[in-house]
């Protein structure tokens, strides 16, 4: 089942929380809505679920227009941020509760519940109450409850945010495997970019009620379309400037000097732009590089050791803080704070983004 | 140096041992545990045998003496004959006593031997008396001997422990019927208040409509109104000669010509009996107690996370199905708390049944048995009934507490379900329901207000002329009721704070082992019916200890019983306030050098005083309305307003009762208003913490 949002706008009183959003979730894919808090991602999910009705626009499930169809007639399965397991019902009853509304014969219930619990590896927990389960188990019961109804669409609202960091990774992998095995169209909401990158077929980045960019994890990391996306996904050095010349390379004039870079968009000399280069592509040296390369001179102001990487920060007098990562610092001799250094980055790693 | 260290060490030890808490424990032991223990000991130890046959011997001897002196020999002979019969019956009665003592759990040989001896003597007297049936003068001499013996026997000890003595109350048809009635009243009240209380709570929490906040406030008022006044008020408006019936009479009058059939039909049936009997009692209790359910369900309902209901909707459950499968079950913990308090309130109320003319309930029976003290048998029954009431209340409390702890649905963070605006016809129905409820619930206060200003109010829907005479009488000629009430209640509140705050502090801030006991004790007191506590106090403090007068006859007993009754409110509110003040704030004060007392004064107290004061005001407000314990313990010359209301009403001066009642209402509303101001964001309900 594919899902389409066409020109959807949602207002709460006078505040417009979603503005003219167009979105197409393909059949069988895991689509993640990613963004900072208050960007409208949960509102979008709740519109798809049917808890809200859009003020403008259409929502399509396949060929069916659903924006005026109540939640319980949309055949969705939803997993809530706090799981929303009914504390007065056992695991079995939680999972089985929805079956009566699907008119499943009662004799079938134990089999269906058992299948659902088997999918999440919780067979044998039928008679427990939610209060007797760990967070990870509750989360899986919530998933089983959603899957038991054999929904067309699975909606997950920050399902991992209440879990310990340690088990978050394993539950994340389980959700992905299960989704792949079932081939169920899934919309996933999170504010955690790492979660989004590792889990999704495609990601929609949202900001202030609008979708800024939609793409695969690769696309978003490597080809951010806007300064916001470049900044939001991963770590980045961003320097504003003006296009000086175009051609094979793009020449950008900034407060820090002239840099060469590449772009995916049409650029003309004089356009305002931002040059973005990731810390992992920066080389740190103490000798002045050749004039052909992009480099910035400054003093180390901070170093933080994170085991697999060492990050240097350089405070540039022009008011920039630039970052550089040393991968595998095992054989690197750490530079002291205040050392004079050159941050050097190739033009192939300098993406020029139109403003 | 070392001696300095040891002094510091000793000081520290003294401080850590928390000796200052001991007087508080002592107070709780003397005024909570001891009376209850005494009540149970009494109900298990006194053999319940009617010794009236023995008393009759004494009475008839007096009669014989009179007749002999008057020279009425024929009648004197008849009296002598009666004495012989009564002596014979006394043999049986003493025999029963011996049997009863024989049933004692621990053998009572000595006691039985004494009674055996007494029985033998009575038998001798009976035989001697039988011989002297011809000569009244000789019979009189003999009868005097018998009278002396009887006096001796009546004073013989008869205390022995036996479960059977306690169970006697369950073998008595009258009491069993009364107990059944009271339990039924409790259940019926829980049923009616649940329906109303839940409906009100659901409307207030889930919907938005004009006037919602006003309804929220107004629907809580009935619970803080004095129940005794409520009953009187209902009678003024709904009684046989009350406003509503008078209006019906006028209607019948008006229809006499135009519609004689209806008019006659009305005349045949008027006055309608709205209030006297079961239905009236249920109405009175429901109107008074439904806010207990509302408050507790509102609390539970507003803490249900929105996603629990959304999850139900996402699997297809909507409307009533969702309401009954998900929403209502989640309110059960709060509901159980409310229902328990409602049940105990209705079950142990003695004033309302008596005023509406029903006495075959357990609480009124106990009250009359104790108050009228007609004979030992009844007095003993009163005591046992008190013990049974304690047993039932505490039993239910324990079950409820256990049930609630099993069903702890609270989550730390939750997103409340959004209020839905209520529009059109639905809104109209909500207004109709709530306004109707308010009209019925406020009827009594209106009635009391009208009656208090009425010079004459009979045969008319409203008073025909007005007067301040009742207030004059209350304020000028009998101000004692008001002065006593305020003195006692202020004293009681001070005691509440003095005892409740340290208790709360121990519960919130220490790991003393007695914490659990304190928690149980204060919750238990909440469930104790005033009637039962009053009876327990009468039994426990009826003998002189320390003072020459028994404590039960000194006025201080009333503030003490009020303080004990209201202690849970102060403890709960102080405890809640203390929990909010994070311990680290106190530790921070200590880290910059403040001592324990200084920390409390400068950091803790400024942060909690509002909560403590709110609890104290609630204690005050409910203390002035206490009728059960104060009526039982009333000491001549030290009566409170509720005692005054009862006395005036039963004495027929309804206007004066109403004036006192209205003052009580006004004081209550003012206190409530101040409390509301003080804690604008106060949480209600959840009395079990």
Return phi, psi of residue A248, to 5°.
-60, -45
Handedness of CA B154, B160, B166, B172 (dihedral sign): negative
pLDDT surpasses 80 at A350: yes
Q: How far apart are the first and last CA of chain B?
A: 48
pLDDT surpasses 90 at A170: no
User: What is the full DSSP assignment across A207-273?
Assistant: ETTEEEEEE-HHHHHHS-SSHHHHHHSS--EEEEEEEEE-SSSEEEEETTEEEEEB-SS---TT-EE
Decide if A81 touches B, using CB distance below 8 A. Answer: yes
pLDDT score, position A35: 92
pLDDT score, position B375: 58
Decide if B310 touches A, using CB distance below 8 A. Answer: yes
* Residues of chain A contacting residue B322, judged by C-beta atoms under 8 Å apart: none
Q: What is the DSSP letter of A126?
A: T
Question: Which of B208, B315, B326 to mutate: most A Cβ within 10 Å?
Answer: B315
User: What is the full DSSP assignment across B51-96?
Assistant: -HHHHHHHHHHHHHHHHHHHT-HHHHHHHHHHHHHHHHHHHHHHHH
Decide if A77 touches B, using CB distance below 8 A. Answer: yes
Decide if B208 touches A, using CB distance below 8 A. Answer: no
pLDDT score, position B582: 77
* Residues of chain B contacting residue A98, judged by C-beta atoms under 8 Å apart: 314-317
pLDDT surpasses 90 at B248: no
pLDDT score, position B446: 86
Average pLDDT over all residues of chain B: 82
Average confidence (pLDDT) over A144-172: 89
- Give every CB contact of residue B224 below 8 A, 6+ residues apart in sequence: B621, B622, B625, B668, B672
Of B310, B317, B409, the CB nearest to A84: B310
Report cis status (omega within 30 of 0) of the bond before B271. Answer: yes
Axis crossing angle, helix B52-70 with helix B73-102, rounded to the nearest 10: 160
Cross-chain Cβ contact A82/B312 below 8 Å: no
- Kindly report, residue by residue over B107-158, the tens digit of the pLDDT: 677 778 888 888 888 888 888 877 877 777 888 888 888 888 888 887 777 6
Decide if A49 touches B, using CB distance below 8 A. Answer: yes
Compute CA B228 distance to the chain's CA centroid, rounded to the nearest angstrom.
Answer: 11
pLDDT surpasses 80 at A311: yes
**In the structure, what pLDDT confidence band is assigned to residue B686 with cuts at 50, 70 and 90?**
very low
- Specify the range with the lowest mean pLDDT, choosing from A219-233, B47-61, B276-290: B47-61
Question: Which of A80, A103, A129, A143 to mutate: most B Cβ within 10 Å?
Answer: A80
Which of the given ranges, A300-309, B185-194, B235-244, B327-336, has the highest pLDDT on average? B185-194
pLDDT surpasses 70 at B447: yes
3-state secondary structure of B229: helix
Average confidence (pLDDT) over B253-282: 82
Decide if B316 touches A, using CB distance below 8 A. Answer: yes
**In the structure, what pLDDT confidence band is assigned to residue B684 with cuts at 50, 70 and 90?**
very low
CA nearest A142 in B: which residue? B311
- Specify the range with the lowest mean pLDDT, choosing from B283-297, B316-330, B386-400, B458-472: B458-472
Q: How far is CA B454 from CA B236, B246, B248, B464, B470, in A?
A: 11, 16, 21, 7, 8
Average confidence (pLDDT) over B525-548: 82
CA nearest B409 in A: which residue? A87
Distance in angstroms (rounded) separating the CA atoms of residues B238 and B248: 11
Tell me which residue of A230, A226, A256 sits closest to A242, measured CA to CA.
A256
Q: What percent of chain B has pLDDT over 70?
A: 91
**In the structure, what pLDDT confidence band is assigned to residue B1 with cuts at 50, 70 and 90?**
very low
Of A80, A101, A131, the CB nearest to B311: A80
pLDDT score, position B563: 93
3-state secondary structure A53-74: CCCEEEEEECCEECCCCCHHHC
> By the 8 A CB rule, do A67 and A54 touch?
yes
- Specify the range with the lowest mean pLDDT, choosing from A91-100, B73-82, B188-197, B590-599: B590-599
Average confidence (pLDDT) over B421-441: 91
**pLDDT top residue among B154 and B400:** B400
Which of 400-429 (B) contact A at CB < 8 A? 407-409, 411, 413
> By the 8 A CB rule, do A229 and A37 touch?
no
Tell me which residue of B574, B567, B451, B587 sits closest to B504, measured CA to CA.
B574
Decide if A281 touches B, using CB distance below 8 A. Answer: no
pLDDT score, position B689: 31
CA nearest A146 in B: which residue? B315
**Distance from B324 to chain A by nearest Cα, in Å?**
12
pLDDT surpasses 90 at B584: no
Decide if A72 touches B, using CB distance below 8 A. Answer: yes
Cross-chain Cβ contact A101/B316 below 8 Å: yes
Pairing, β B465-466 against β B454-456: antiparallel
Average confidence (pLDDT) over A102-114: 90
**Distance from B416 to chain A by nearest Cα, in Å?**
13
pTM exceeding the 0.80 threshold for the entire prediction: no
> What's the longest Cα–Cα distance across chain B?
108
CA nearest B306 in A: which residue? A84
**In the structure, what pLDDT confidence band is assigned to residue B46 with cuts at 50, 70 and 90?**
low
How many other CB atoms are found less than 10 A from the CB of residue B283? 19
CA nearest A77 in B: which residue? B314
Cross-chain Cβ contact B312/A97 below 8 Å: yes
**In the structure, what pLDDT confidence band is assigned to residue A115 with cuts at 50, 70 and 90?**
very high
> By the 8 A CB rule, do A240 and A355 touch?
yes
* Residues of chain B contacting residue A72, judged by C-beta atoms under 8 Å apart: 313-318
Six token digits for residue A207: 């900001």
**In the structure, what pLDDT confidence band is assigned to residue B682 with cuts at 50, 70 and 90?**
very low
Question: Which of B314, B331, B406 to mutate: most A Cβ within 10 Å?
Answer: B314
**Distance from A186 to chain B by nearest Cα, in Å?**
15
> By the 8 A CB rule, do B102 and B160 touch?
no
Return phi, psi of residue A25, to 5°.
-100, 120
Decide if A145 touches B, using CB distance below 8 A. Answer: yes
Decide if A154 touches B, using CB distance below 8 A. Answer: no
Which of the given ranges, A72-76, B107-111, B221-225, B596-600, has the highest pLDDT on average? A72-76
pLDDT surpasses 50 at B17: yes
- Kindly report, residue by residue over B667-680, the tens digit of the pLDDT: 888 888 887 777 65
Of B317, B318, B409, the CB nearest to A87: B409
**In the structure, what pLDDT confidence band is assigned to residue B519 with cuts at 50, 70 and 90?**
confident
pLDDT surpasses 80 at B5: no
Axis crossing angle, helix B480-509 with helix B654-678, rounded to the nearest 10: 30
pLDDT surpasses 80 at A321: yes
Distance in angstroms (rounded) separating the CA atoms of residues B597 and B589: 11
Average confidence (pLDDT) over A266-286: 90
Handedness of CA B291, B297, B303, B307 (dihedral sign): negative
Handedness of CA A255, A261, A265, A267 (dihedral sign): positive
pLDDT score, position A214: 95
pLDDT surpasses 50 at B435: yes
Decide if A78 touches B, using CB distance below 8 A. Answer: yes
């Amino acid at each position: 089942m594919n899902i389409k949002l066409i020109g959807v706008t949602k207002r709460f009183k006078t505040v417009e929380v979603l503005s003219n959003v167009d979105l197409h979730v393909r059949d069988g894919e895991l689509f993640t809505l990613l963004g900072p808090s208050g960007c409208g991602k949960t509102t979008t999910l709740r519109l798809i679920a049917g808890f809200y009705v859009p003020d403008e626009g259409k929502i399509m499930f396949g060929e069916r227009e659903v924006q005026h169809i109540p939640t319980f007639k949309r055949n969705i399965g939803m997993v809530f941020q706090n799981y929303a397991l009914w504390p007065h019902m056992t695991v079995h009853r939680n999972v089985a509760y929805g079956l009566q509304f699907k008119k499943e014969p009662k004799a079938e219930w134990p089999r269906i519940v058992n299948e659902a619990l088997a999918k999440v590896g919780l067979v044998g927990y039928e008679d427990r109450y939610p209060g007797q389960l760990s967070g990870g188990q509750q989360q899986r019961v919530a998933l089983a409850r959603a899957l038991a109804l054999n929904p067309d669409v699975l909606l997950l609202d920050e399902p991992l945010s209440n879990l310990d960091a340690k088990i978050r990774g394993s539950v994340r992998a389980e959700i992905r495997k299960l989704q792949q095995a079932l081939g169920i169209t899934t919309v996933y909401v999170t504010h955690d970019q790492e979660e989004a990158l590792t889990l999704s077929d495609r990601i929609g980045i949202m900001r202030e009620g609008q979708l800024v960019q939609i793409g695969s994890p690769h696309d978003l990391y490597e080809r951010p379309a806007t300064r916001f996306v470049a900044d939001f996904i991963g770590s980045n050095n961003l320097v504003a400037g003006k296009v000086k010349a175009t051609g094979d390379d793009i020449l950008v004039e900034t407060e820090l000097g002239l840099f060469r870079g590449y772009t995916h968009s049409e650029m003309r000399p004089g356009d305002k732009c931002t040059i973005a280069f990731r810390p992992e592509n920066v080389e740190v040296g103490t000798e002045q590089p050749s004039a052909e390369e992009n480099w910035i001179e400054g003093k180390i102001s901070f170093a933080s050791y994170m085991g697999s990487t060492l990050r240097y920060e350089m405070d540039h007098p022009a008011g920039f803080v630039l970052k550089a990562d040393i991968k595998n610092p095992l054989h690197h001799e750490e530079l002291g704070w205040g050392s004079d250094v050159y941050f050097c980055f190739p033009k192939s790693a300098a993406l020029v983004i139109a403003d | 140096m070392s001696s300095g260290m040891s002094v510091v060490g000793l000081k520290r030890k003294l401080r850590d041992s928390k000796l200052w808490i001991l007087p508080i424990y002592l107070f709780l032991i003397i005024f909570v545990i001891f009376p209850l223990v005494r009540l149970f000991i009494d109900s298990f130890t006194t053999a319940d045998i009617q010794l009236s046959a023995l008393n009759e011997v004494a009475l008839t001897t007096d009669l014989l003496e009179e007749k002999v002196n008057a020279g009425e020999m024929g009648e004197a002979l008849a009296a002598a004959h009666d004495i012989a019969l009564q002596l014979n019956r006394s043999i049986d009665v003493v025999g029963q006593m011996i049997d009863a003592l024989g049933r004692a759990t621990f053998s009572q040989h000595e006691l039985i031997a004494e009674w055996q001896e007494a029985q033998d003597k009575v038998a001798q007297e009976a035989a001697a008396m039988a011989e002297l049936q011809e000569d009244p003068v000789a019979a009189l001499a003999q009868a005097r001997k018998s009278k002396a013996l009887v006096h001796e026997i009546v004073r013989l000890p008869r205390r022995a422990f036996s479960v059977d003595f306690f169970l006697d109350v369950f073998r008595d048809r009258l009491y069993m019927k009364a107990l059944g009635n009271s339990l039924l009243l409790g259940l019926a009240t829980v049923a009616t208040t649940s329906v109303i209380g839940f409906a009100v709570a659901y409307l207030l929490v889930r919907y938005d409509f004009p006037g919602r906040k006003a309804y929220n406030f107004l629907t809580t008022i009935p619970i803080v109104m004095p129940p005794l006044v409520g009953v009187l008020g209902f009678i003024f408006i709904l009684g046989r000669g009350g406003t509503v019936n008078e209006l019906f009479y006028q209607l019948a009058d008006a229809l006499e010509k135009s519609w004689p059939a209806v008019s006659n039909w009305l005349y045949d049936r008027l006055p309608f009996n709205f209030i006297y009997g079961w239905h009236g009692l249920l109405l009175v209790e429901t109107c008074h107690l439904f806010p207990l359910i509302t408050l507790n369900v509102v609390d539970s309902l507003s803490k249900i996370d929105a996603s629990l209901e959304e999850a139900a909707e996402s699997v297809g459950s909507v409307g009533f199905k969702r309401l009954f499968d998900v929403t209502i079950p989640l309110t059960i913990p709060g509901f159980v708390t409310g229902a328990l308090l409602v049940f105990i309130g209705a079950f142990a109320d003695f004033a309302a049944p008596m005023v509406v003319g029903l006495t075959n309930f357990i609480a009124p029976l106990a009250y009359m048995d104790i108050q009228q003290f007609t004979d030992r048998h009844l007095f003993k029954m009163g005591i046992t009934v008190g013990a049974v009431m304690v047993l039932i209340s505490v039993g239910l409390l324990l079950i409820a507490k256990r049930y609630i702890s099993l069903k702890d649905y609270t989550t730390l963070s939750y997103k409340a379900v959004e209020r839905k605006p209520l529009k059109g016809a639905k809104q109209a129905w909500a207004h109709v329901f709530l306004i109707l409820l308010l009209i019925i619930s406020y009827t009594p206060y209106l009635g009391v207000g009208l009656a208090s200003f009425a010079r004459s109010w009979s045969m008319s829907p409203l008073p025909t002329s007005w007067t301040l005479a009742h207030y004059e009488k209350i304020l000028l000629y009998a101000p004692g009721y008001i002065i006593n009430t305020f003195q006692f209640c202020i004293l009681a509140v001070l005691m509440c704070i003095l005892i409740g705050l340290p208790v709360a502090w121990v519960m919130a801030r220490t790991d003393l082992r007695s914490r659990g006991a304190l928690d149980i004790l204060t919750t238990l007191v909440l469930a104790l019916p005033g009637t039962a506590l009053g009876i327990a106090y009468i039994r426990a403090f009826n003998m002189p200890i320390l003072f020459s007068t028994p404590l039960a006859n000194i006025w201080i007993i009333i503030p003490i019983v009020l303080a004990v009754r209201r202690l849970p409110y102060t403890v709960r509110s102080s405890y809640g306030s203390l929990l909010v003040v994070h311990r680290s704030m106190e530790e921070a004060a200590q880290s910059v050098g403040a001592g324990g007392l200084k920390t409390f004064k400068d950091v803790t107290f400024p942060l909690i005083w509002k909560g403590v004061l709110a609890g104290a005001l609630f204690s005050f407000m409910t203390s002035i309305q206490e009728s059960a314990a104060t009526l039982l313990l009333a000491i001549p010359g030290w009566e409170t307003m509720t005692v005054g209301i009862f006395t005036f009403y039963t004495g027929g001066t309804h206007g004066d009762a109403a004036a006192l009642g209205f003052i009580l209402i006004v004081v209550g509303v003012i206190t409530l208003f101040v409390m509301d101001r003080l804690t604008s964001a106060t949480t209600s309900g959840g009395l079990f913490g």
